DNA sequence: CCTTGTGTTCTCCG
DNA sequence: CCGGAGAACACAAG
């Protein structure tokens, strides 16, 4: 479940590895995940170079050396981008490249990008939710406009954050997950943010006090920054571009801890369903 | 049947 | 009674 910190980790990795490299070939084994069409996708990308990789929310945006064309990559729930080149040292443990990806491609490899000097980027996805899409700058503009304010970005001010919560009857949890309002937060970080702020996730957003909103706003940035610092959370499938797990798992306070003892008090972490999502919280630490 | 990110569809309430 | 908010569903696979 890559969320903002996981996608940002991948973005930084890719920026260090594939910028300026020319795509020499593209192989697609799952045509349905590339857009607009298989033919257009291949024809456009072969011989193109990637100039930079940006991100909005959980969406990666690659700028190409082609006029008015951008490549969007969304990993959805189980997508992975794994890069390998001549300098890659394949071994286990904390080494550069995870052993379990040494034999890519495998049956979950959906798209392969080839670069000069035997460099390869694999798009792996257990399911077929993730996608790769070519868009024009006009289309990109429309897509970007739909995203809400994002933690650690300039627009994430207390004022803007308060305005997002104002008059919203929906639960805090649902609001945090709504990408049109706040970009980048998914199920894991939403639960962690609510816990860190000491606020129950089912509370109607409009009922939060000024103090709570201030605390929540601050905690959103702190948790997301900490997630990035530790290269994301690997709960199920997330890995970085070298196939390595994220380091934030050990900092999780509530996510995945249903029926276990709270890390801050003697109470038991509860797991319920809010907005159709598994939600973990401490009824004692969170009010 | 569970897991979840997001676009779409449906329902219901103010 | 209408519009919009919010819930529910669809997708996918293990």
> Would residue A173 show up in a list of annotated catalytic residues for this protein?
no
Q: What is the pTM of this model?
A: 0.94
Percent with pLDDT over 90 in chain A: 68
Q: Is the CB of A19 under 7 A from strand B?
A: no
pLDDT at A89 over 80: no
What does the pLDDT read at residue A170?
Answer: 86
Instruction: Lowest mean pLDDT of A21-25, A61-65, A77-81, A141-145, name the range.
Output: A141-145
Chain mean pLDDT for chain A: 91
Residue A272, pLDDT > 90, answer no
What structural domains does chain A harbor?
4-145 (3.20.190.10), 158-282 (1.10.8.50)
What pLDDT does A75 receive? 93
The model's pLDDT over A189-201, given as tens digits with 9 standing for 90+, comes to 999 999 999 999 9
Q: What is the pLDDT of residue A1?
A: 78
Options A17, A58, A110, A200, the catalytic residue: A58
Report the nucleotide nearest the CA of residue A129, measured to C1'.
C12
- Average confidence (pLDDT) over A238-267: 91
Q: What percent of chain A has pLDDT over 70?
A: 98
SS3 sequence of chain A: CCCHHHHHHHHHHHHHHCCCCECCEEEECCHHHEECCHHHHHHHHCCCEEEEEEEECCEEEEEECCCCCEEEEECCCCEEEEEECCCCCECCCCCCECHHHCCCCCCCEEEEEEECCCEEEEEEECCCCCEEEEECHHHHHHHHHCCCECCCCCCCCHHHHHHHHCCCCCEHHHHHHCCCCECCCCHHHHHHHHHHHCCCCCCEHHHCCHHHHHHHHHHHHHHHHHHHHCCCCCCCCCCCCCCCCCCHHHHCCCCCCCCCECCCCCCECEEEEECCEEEEECCCCCC
Does the structure show a pLDDT above 80 at A265? yes
* Nucleotide nearest A108 (Cα, C1'): C13
pLDDT of residue A154: 93
Confidence band of A93 (pLDDT split at 50, 70, 90): very low
A151 is catalytic: no
Mean pLDDT of A220-247: 91
Q: Which of residues 74-133 of A touch strand B (CB under 7 A)?
A: 74, 76-77, 129
Q: How confident is the model at residue A95 (pLDDT cuts 50, 70, 90)?
A: low
CA-to-C1' distance for A141 and B13, Å? 34
Which of A44-58, A107-121, A137-151 has the weakest average pLDDT?
Answer: A137-151
């Amino acid at each position: 479940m890559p969320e903002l910190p996981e996608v940002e980790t991948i973005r930084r990795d890719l920026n260090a590895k594939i910028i300026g490299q020319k795509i020499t070939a593209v192989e697609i084994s799952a045509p349905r995940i590339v857009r607009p069409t298989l033919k257009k996708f291949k024809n456009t990308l072969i011989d193109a170079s990637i100039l930079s990789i940006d991100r909005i929310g959980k969406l990666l945006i690659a700028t190409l050396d082609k006029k008015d064309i951008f490549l969007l990559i969304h990993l959805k729930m189980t997508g992975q981008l794994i890069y390998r080149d001549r300098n890659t040292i394949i071994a286990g443990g904390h080494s550069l490249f995870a052993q379990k990806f040494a034999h890519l491609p495998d049956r979950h490899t959906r798209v392969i990008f080839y670069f000069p000097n035997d460099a390869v980027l694999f798009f792996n996805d257990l399911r077929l939710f993730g996608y790769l899409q070519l868009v024009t700058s006009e289309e990109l503009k429309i897509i970007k406009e739909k995203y809400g304010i994002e933690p650690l970005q300039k627009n994430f001010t207390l004022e803007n954050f308060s305005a997002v919560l104002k008059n919203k009857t929906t639960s805090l949890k649902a609001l945090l997950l709504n990408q049109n309002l706040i970009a980048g937060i998914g199920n894991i970080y939403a639960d962690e943010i609510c816990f860190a702020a000491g606020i129950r996730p089912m509370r109607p957003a409009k009922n939060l006090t000024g103090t709570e909103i201030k605390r929540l706003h601050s905690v959103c940035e702190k948790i997301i920054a900490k997630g990035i610092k530790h290269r994301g959370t690997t709960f199920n499938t997330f890995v970085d571009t070298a196939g390595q797990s994220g380091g934030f798992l050990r900092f999780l306070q509530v996510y995945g801890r249903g029926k276990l003892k709270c890390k801050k008090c003697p109470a038991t972490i509860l797991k319920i369903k809010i907005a159709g999502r598994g939600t973990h919280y401490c009824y004692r630490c969170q009010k």
